Structure formats: C-alpha cells, structure tokens
Chains A and B, each alone.
Chain A
Amino acid sequence: MTQPARRQPFALSVLLGAILLSGQAMASVTDEDILQDPKNPGQIVTNGLGVQGQRYSPLDTLNVDNVKELRPVWAFSFGGEKQRGQQAQPMIKDGVMYLTGSYSRVFAVDARTGKKLWQYDARLPDDIRPCCDVINRGVALYGDLVFFGTLDAKLVALNKDTGKVVWSKQVADHKEGYSISAAPLVVNGKLITGVAGGEFGVVGKIQAYDPKNGELLWSRPTVEGHMGYVYKDGKAVENGISGGEAGKTWPGDLWKTGGAAPWLGGYYDPETNLLLFGTGNPAPWNSHLRPGDNLYSSSRLALNPDDGTIKWHFQSTPHDGWDYDGVNELVSFNYTEGGKEIKAAATADRNGFFYVLDRTNGKFIRGFPFVDKITWATGLDKDGRPIYNEASRPGAPGSETKGTSVFVAPAFLGAKNWMPMAYNRDTGLFYVPSNEWGMDIWNEGIAYKKGAAFLGAGFTIKPLNEDYIGVLRAIDPKTGKEVWRHKNFAPLWGGVLTTKGNLVFTGTPEGFLQAFNAKTGEKVWEFQTGSGVLGSPVTWEMDGEQYVSVLSGWGGAVPLWGGEVAKRIKDFNQGGMLWTFKLPKELVAKH
C-alpha cells in the first residue's frame, strides 16, 4: 500500500482498515450494476464489458468517421523496476479507474486526470511459480471492495477508497505451483475465481467466496475424480465427485496431478444462469503417460453459480498432446436461424478450431478452422470431436530420453491464446486475435515432483510466414466465413473491443493501439503507446465525451517461450503504462 501523502490521519485502529476521510460519496457496485454492464455508459464494472464477455460497447459517439480525432488525454506510469507484461482490462466506477499491473499490483486512478489515488503492492514470496510471466488480468468490483488474485494464489479484497486490505484468503498453495492471473468475477453476490498451474501438475478448481468476508462457499475441481464441496456454516459438505468417479478417462493415479487449470477465469450467462469457464491442458504434456480423454482438461464447463455443480461440458481437445489448453473464453450470443433464436456460445480454441455451441446444453452446433494451418487434426466430427492426424502426435519416448519429434500447427501458444475476442451485435461478427505458427514438439519421460514443472515434453516454436504471425480476423459464427483479416508482424497478444460506432480496437506488441472499421477491416486509427499492447481496451463515457483506455507494457508468455519467434520480438522494450484517449466534444459534430 503506498499512498500520496496528502492525508495521513491517525486513524483509530479498526480491523477492517481506515475509512477515507476526504473521499467523495460514491455508490457501491451492485449485482444489478454488474448484470446491466455495459448499458450504463459511464461505468465498466465487469471484465468483458458485460458478464457474457462480448466486449461490445453500445457507445457510438466515437465512430469510424471521427476516430481519427481520438487523442490521448493522459498517461499513467506503473513505476518501479517491475515493467513486465501488462494484461489487465481497466474497470471504471464513479470517475475512478481500477486496474492491475505486473507483480500483483493494483492501482486506483482518477479517470479524469490520471492522478493516482492509491496503489496496493502485494508482498510476494520469493518462490512464486507463474508459468508465463508475472502478469495479472484485472480486478472485480463489488460493494465497496476491489478484488484481485495474486501470483501466490491469494484472493485479496481492498477498500475501493483507500486500497487497504479488507480481507485476504489463500485460494491454493503456491508451493505446489498454483497462482492466480485471471480477473475474478462476481455473480449473484458470489466472488468466483479459477487458478493457474497446469504446468506444475496442480488440480484445477473453481471456487466461490463471500465477497464481504472471503468465506469459502463452494469448490469445484476441474479434474475427474476429485470431490466438490459446498460450505455451510464453515463446514464442508460433499457435493459430488467431478465426472462421477475417478479413473474413467484417466489411467492410474495421474488424475491426482491432472492440471486442467481454469487459469483464464470465466464469464456468466444470465439467460441460462450458467458460469462458463474453460480449462487448461492436462498434466503432464506427454500424452502417452495418460491414455484416455482426461476429463475435464482442455474443455469448456458450464457451472451452476450457486453451488459449482457442472451442468455440461464440451471438450475441445480430448487427450491433448500439444498443450492446447481449452481455457479460451466462451462468449454467449444469440442469433436467429430459420426464424428461431439460438442461444449460442462461441469460442476460438488454442487448437485452431472455432466452435459454436448451444449454451443451454453444451451441444456442438458447428466448428471450423480459424487459422490457415492445422495439422494435428483433419477436421471435426458431427459432435465436434477432432479427427486426429495420428502422425502429428509426438511419439512416446520409450526407453530413449526423447521420443520422435513432429512438426505441428498451431504451436502450443495457440492459434489464439488468452487474449479475448469481441462480438459485435451490429455486424454479427466475432473479432478474433489469432496467430499463425507451428512447433517442433517431442515427448520425454517425467515423474511428478511437487512444485516442479510437470511437462514431459520439449518444444520449439516457429513462424509459418516470413511477414506476419498475428492475424486479426473478422469471423461470421453462422457460416465460418472469414470476412476480413489484418496481418501483424509480431504475434498478437492483446484483447479486442468492438463498438456500435462500427469500430474494432486492439493492440500490437509493436506498441500500437489500433482501430479498424468493423465491417471492412480497414485500419482507421493508430497510436504508438511506447511499449507492446497486451491489455484489453475499454471505452466509456464521462462528462458527455467518449473515452478509450488501454494498458501498454510488453511481456507475457511470448518472450519467455518464443523459440524462433523470439527473434521477431527481442527488440521490443517492456513498459507499464495506462493510456487514456478521448474524442473532444467539439470534434464530434465536425464529422
């Protein structure tokens, strides 16, 4: 906690922290606020601009014609020497912006001026085990509290006015490899989080807490064989084994260290009252050690938010052998077909296929490739199960130290990684930040050791094209047709925003925040932020003007695992900035 020195009253000691004396009267965030997001244009209180995660803003003051007048109004530095990947989406409430930076830091910033109101730096132990950079993907807001997860797998609640800790709970043991990087979400008064750690053989789980005091309410493991619990008056009550029983889709004891970490968090669909989460790779990577489908790894799960019961699942990569995590966001959307409204959900998987599911039951509607090259499967069957190309599964090491190496596309970093896509209700298109790359991958022997990497594989990643890796694509979920594409030299790693103003925003590792015509893909604006843009942009309205904000700061998994790709990005400098832009009032009418 560091705070500007403007107020230091000798606060009476209270367990719940000091109350700001000079603060403005501000409304607290309610369930209704969360469900209405982003209809109230003055605030953003959900990760995803709405619980469904469409990242669509109904604002159209800023549009494709006047976007060239969009200009920076302030920038805020995260300071310190800890300039690593910045992947958060800012939240805005009552003129205050709440966001996270690398190394488990939280900032509250005056949205009008960029002045820092407070900063909270989590005190991390020396032995944190993040697999893929020390990033964080943002906060949740509820009541008068700001919530986020730390790299040592704690959930922390801060007073929104002071940044002081109100409560802190250990979600899992970081020494086993657990961490938290995703933004938690609040659904019907429950604070819900996943965990990361699939590279360490953790057991993935989704847990719900009471936002007021951090009391655990339910826990749902995402690996078959583990018991789920609900907590009543502090007592754990069994709520069914995930998948019914152990051993059905996992051999031997491997389900005990099965991974499937829901590390990207999830969204919520109020129409079906379902939490929609994705799960990561099974552990270890070497698939020959674990014959079977390995549920619920590389899957999408629909959970009852009241008790964490799994209502349905869809596994995109059964028996994954390529680190094709299935964490990618499942975005709810409705469309009409044959006069009938379909309650669908779409997801663009690491494995290169785009899936449209019936979100009432998880049934496969259609699926299609969204990248140019997929070698591990030749297609999907009628239920959406991949038709494997067995030659693309790296060989078992046998008695050798290393099994046969194969070249596979997409690479393990995925046709699309964590960076969230957006759905535009006006164009009916999804805007998908994708990457074209492949890898050489081979298997090795491995035994589980607590807290140590549990991969059993080696790999090196390669671009498929000389002139680009990243491709921003506009995809029609009804036909599978790619409507437009925009190529980028470096791999794309930032989230996407789309608006009623016929705009699509996303950032590049080269440091540009860019805007595109949502219908045509024409680039209509860009701004150099000084470091790679990995954050998810947002737009909101304040004092009658439309604003756009995004985090800038290169890092994330690409520079750590980049292989041959690293050559393309090695000269990108790190950073840590929050940029805010607006379209000045007087320029709205001009166009």
Chain B
Amino acid sequence: MNWRLSCILACWLPLAAHAVEVDPVPSVMWDFYHKQFLAQAPFVFDDRVKLLAPPFAEDARQVPLEIDARAFNGHVVKILAWAELNPLPKIVDFQPKAGVLPWLSLRIRIEQATPLRAAVLTDDGLWHVGSTLIDAAGGGCTAPSVVRTQPGWEEHIGEVLGGRYPRGEFSRVRVQVAHPMDNGMVSGIPEFFINHAQLRDQDGQVLADLELFPAVSENPNLAFDIDAPGPTRLVLRDNSGNEFDAAIP
C-alpha cells in the first residue's frame, strides 16, 4: 500500500468511493505538473471535482469550461486549473471565500487535444484533482486575435458586460470583459492580459480572488455563484498595470 492510499484510508475513508488511484485521463504530463504546480503534495483523482467541457472544441480560441467543486463547499482553499498540452498551460488560480461557491465558469484557449485539470485544495491539505479530455483541431493559442482586427479596440479595454441572475439558493454573476488577452505567442505582439481579478462585496470584502493566465480566452467570460446578499464589484488588473472596476448590482 503506498502513501497515497494509506492516507486516503486513514483520513478520508468516507471519500474513498470517489477517489481513484488511476489517472482517469491518459496523460504523459501528470507527474510533471504534480511536481511543478502542486509541489508533489498529496492528492487524489476525485470525480467529485467536475470539469465540464465540450468533447470537441468547435472554436479552439473560445472553449467553455466549467469547474464545479461544490461537493467541497466550505472547505475549498483554492482551485488551480490547467490544460496539460497547451504551450502556456495555466488557466486560473481561483480562491473562493465565504459567500462564493467553489464553482467557476470561463472560456479558454486550446492549442491541441489535451487533458484538462482542476486541482482543488481543501482545508485538510489534500488536493482533489478533477480531469477531463477535450479534442480539438488546434491552434487556439497561436491564432491571430479577433479583438485586434476591430478598429478602436483600445477604446473598449476593460469594459465589462454582464449581470446577476437569481438561481434559487444563490445567484449567478456572469460577465464578459473586453480585453485582447494577448498571450505573447503571436509574433510582434507582447503579452497583454488580465492577470488578476477580485470579486468584492458592497463593503469591499473579498469574495473571490483569481489569478488569470494567458490560456484564458480574449474578451474573457467569467461566472461565479454567490450565496451572499448585496451588490458586488469586480476589480480587474492587467499585466500592464491597467485597473478596471465594474459594479455588478
């Protein structure tokens, strides 16, 4: 019995039904990312971390991805997501606080067919890794930007469209932010992307902290589930130091 399993049996026996020893998606990269992103910390592959993505990326530049760790609601420290075979694999580092569910929806770029991962760190120090596979024709990370072909795009940087929609127990905030999210892989165009987002409540309390990476699509779409009352604000910052502040009632 290796350390992983003993750990599971000792501490998380009730969870064992959801944890699997074998990587649910075939990946040559898991050991590498386990070391690089999770510092070889204890983990389980866990089907309660749900990654919802289409089986095939119709548009490799705009692939919808939903990360659902609501099974661990109240115990989530952070969620890291990445696309294993992307040239720039990291997608997001999401830290939901009290008032926001451990659920996130966004759109990403896919360079080729790849395993997608979301690793959820719970407050007991264990990483729960959700996985899925996506097929793609490819090229989403190196294709020319659509935003940049639109004249006057600079005028609209940081504009936020969206709203808040009641969904019974909680409400869902959905936004789209105008930004080219240049990832630096198109020749002659330097990196220019939103690298930080914060969802705050009416008192300025942080509801969620996000570090974003250039695997996030241009004109990023983000959605959060909020179970706290009152209006919210989304504060964004890009790697050029531009700051944007959107009120979401």
Residues of A within 8 A of B (CB): 1-2, 8, 10-13, 15, 80-82, 121-123, 125-127, 154, 156-157, 164-168
Q: Of A15, A121, A125, which is within 8 A of B237 by CB? A: A15
Q: Among residues 173 to 201 in chain B, which have CB atoms less than 8 Å away from a CB atom of chain A?
A: 182, 184, 187-192, 196
Contact A123–B192 (Cβ < 8 Å): yes
Contact B36–A156 (Cβ < 8 Å): no
Contact B190–A10 (Cβ < 8 Å): no
Q: Among residues 190 to 249 in chain B, which have CB atoms less than 8 Å away from a CB atom of chain A?
A: 190-192, 196, 209-211, 237, 239-242
B239: chain A residues within 8 A (beta carbon): 1, 164-165
If A80-B188, A125-B154 touch, does A11 touch B211 (CB 8 Å cutoff)? yes
Complex Cα distance, B200 from A15, in Å, reads 14
Number of inter-chain CB pairs below 8 Å? 52
Complex Cα distance, B188 from A81, in Å, reads 7
Contact B182–A8 (Cβ < 8 Å): no
Q: Among residues 136 to 151 in chain B, which have CB atoms less than 8 Å away from a CB atom of chain A?
A: none
Cβ of B138 to closest chain A Cβ, rounded Å: 22
Q: Of B95, B184, B191, B196, which is within 8 A of A15 by CB? A: B196
How many chain B residues sit at the interface, stated as a range, is 20 to 34
Cβ of A82 to closest chain B Cβ, rounded Å: 7
A12: chain B residues within 8 A (beta carbon): 93, 211
Complex Cα distance, B190 from A82, in Å, reads 12
Residues of B within 8 A of A (CB): 36-37, 80, 90, 93, 95, 154, 182, 184, 187-192, 196, 209-211, 237, 239-242
- Pull 29 A–B residue pairs with CB atoms less than 8 Å apart, ordered by A: A1-B190, A1-B191, A2-B184, A2-B191, A10-B90, A11-B211, A13-B93, A13-B95, A13-B196, A13-B209, A13-B210, A15-B196, A80-B188, A81-B187, A81-B188, A121-B191, A122-B190, A123-B182, A123-B189, A123-B191, A126-B154, A127-B154, A156-B241, A165-B239, A165-B240, A166-B241, A168-B240, A168-B241, A168-B242
If A8-B36, A13-B93, A13-B209 touch, does A121 touch B241 (CB 8 Å cutoff)? no
- Most interface-central of A2, A122, A165, A167 (chain B CB within 10 A): A165
Complex Cα distance, B45 from A506, in Å, reads 64
Complex Cα distance, B152 from A125, in Å, reads 9
Complex Cα distance, B209 from A109, in Å, reads 33
| CB-CB nearest 8 A-B residue pairs | A168-B241, A121-B190, A123-B192, A13-B211, A165-B241, A125-B154, A13-B209, A123-B240
Q: Of A10, A15, A80, which is within 8 A of B93 by CB? A: A10
Nearest residue, chain B, Cβ from A10:
B37
Complex Cα distance, B242 from A168, in Å, reads 7
Nearest residue, chain B, Cβ from A104:
B190
- Identify whether the interface residues of A are mostly helix, strand, loop, or mixed: loop
Contact B188–A167 (Cβ < 8 Å): no
Complex Cα distance, B187 from A81, in Å, reads 9
Cβ of A489 to closest chain B Cβ, rounded Å: 33
A164: chain B residues within 8 A (beta carbon): 239
A80: chain B residues within 8 A (beta carbon): 188
B237: chain A residues within 8 A (beta carbon): 15
Complex Cα distance, B211 from A123, in Å, reads 20
Cβ of A549 to closest chain B Cβ, rounded Å: 25
Cβ of B191 to closest chain A Cβ, rounded Å: 5
Nearest residue, chain A, Cβ from B154:
A125
Q: Of A10, A13, A167, which is within 8 A of B241 by CB? A: A167
Complex Cα distance, B196 from A70, in Å, reads 48
Contact A82–B188 (Cβ < 8 Å): yes
Nearest residue, chain B, Cβ from A105:
B190
If A1-B191, A2-B184, A10-B90 touch, does A122 touch B36 (CB 8 Å cutoff)? no
Given contacts A80-B188, A126-B154, 5 further A-B contacts (CB under 8 A): A10-B80, A15-B237, A121-B190, A166-B241, A168-B242
Complex Cα distance, B196 from A81, in Å, reads 30
Complex Cα distance, B187 from A122, in Å, reads 14
Complex Cα distance, B190 from A287, in Å, reads 42
Nearest residue, chain B, Cβ from A156:
B241
Complex Cα distance, B191 from A1, in Å, reads 6
Complex Cα distance, B155 from A127, in Å, reads 11
Nearest residue, chain B, Cβ from A155:
B241
A156: chain B residues within 8 A (beta carbon): 240-241
Contact A122–B210 (Cβ < 8 Å): no
Contact B37–A2 (Cβ < 8 Å): no
Nearest residue, chain A, Cβ from B182:
A123
Cβ of A163 to closest chain B Cβ, rounded Å: 10
A10: chain B residues within 8 A (beta carbon): 37, 80, 90, 93
A11: chain B residues within 8 A (beta carbon): 211
Complex Cα distance, B185 from A121, in Å, reads 13
Contact B240–A122 (Cβ < 8 Å): yes
Nearest residue, chain A, Cβ from B241:
A168
Nearest residue, chain A, Cβ from B148:
A126
B154: chain A residues within 8 A (beta carbon): 125-127
Nearest residue, chain A, Cβ from B78:
A12
B187: chain A residues within 8 A (beta carbon): 81
Complex Cα distance, B237 from A160, in Å, reads 20
Contact B190–A2 (Cβ < 8 Å): yes
Complex Cα distance, B54 from A480, in Å, reads 79
Complex Cα distance, B242 from A154, in Å, reads 11
B191: chain A residues within 8 A (beta carbon): 1-2, 121, 123
A123: chain B residues within 8 A (beta carbon): 182, 189-192, 240
A165: chain B residues within 8 A (beta carbon): 239-241
Cβ of B151 to closest chain A Cβ, rounded Å: 9
A168: chain B residues within 8 A (beta carbon): 240-242
Cβ of B144 to closest chain A Cβ, rounded Å: 14
Cβ of B159 to closest chain A Cβ, rounded Å: 15
A166: chain B residues within 8 A (beta carbon): 241
Complex Cα distance, B237 from A166, in Å, reads 11
Complex Cα distance, B93 from A15, in Å, reads 14
